[in-house]
């Protein structure tokens, strides 16, 4: 449960835009079906990390969380636009790649 004993931490007014964007991204991946490669799936999972919404809702490094969301959303968009061209090494080293982000 969230801070108020409900799910508002992940879908309340402070993060409603995030919740809707995550659902859109999920539906886009589902629509891609078998064309969605490992890169697309990995980026969706990184995008859906509950930490981002939590950080925004609680005001903990919210700009950083929004930067990470935007980065994963763009990477997912690219992966869905060109399936099969993802860099498997980049998928395996995603945590290392993300350390370069600033906040």
pLDDT of residue 10: 75
pLDDT tens-place string over residues 10-46: 778 889 999 999 999 999 999 999 999 999 999 999 9
Distance CA 102, CA 10 (A): 23
pLDDT tens-place string over residues 44-99: 999 998 789 999 998 999 999 999 999 999 999 999 998 877 666 555 555 555 55
pTM of this structure: 0.75
The CB-side HSE value for 8 (13 A sphere, CA atoms) comes to 8
pLDDT of residue 44: 95
């Amino acid at each position: 449960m969230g801070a108020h004993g409900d799910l508002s931490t992940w879908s309340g007014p402070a993060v409603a835009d995030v919740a809707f964007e995550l659902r859109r991204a999920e539906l886009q991946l589902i629509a891609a079906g078998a064309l969605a490669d490992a890169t697309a799936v990995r980026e969706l999972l990184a995008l859906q990390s509950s930490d981002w919404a939590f950080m925004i809702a609680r005001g903990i490094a919210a700009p950083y969380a929004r930067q990470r969301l935007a980065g994963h959303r763009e990477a997912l968009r690219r992966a869905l636009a060109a399936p099969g061209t993802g860099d498997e090494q980049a998928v395996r080293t995603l945590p290392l790649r993300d350390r370069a982000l600033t906040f």
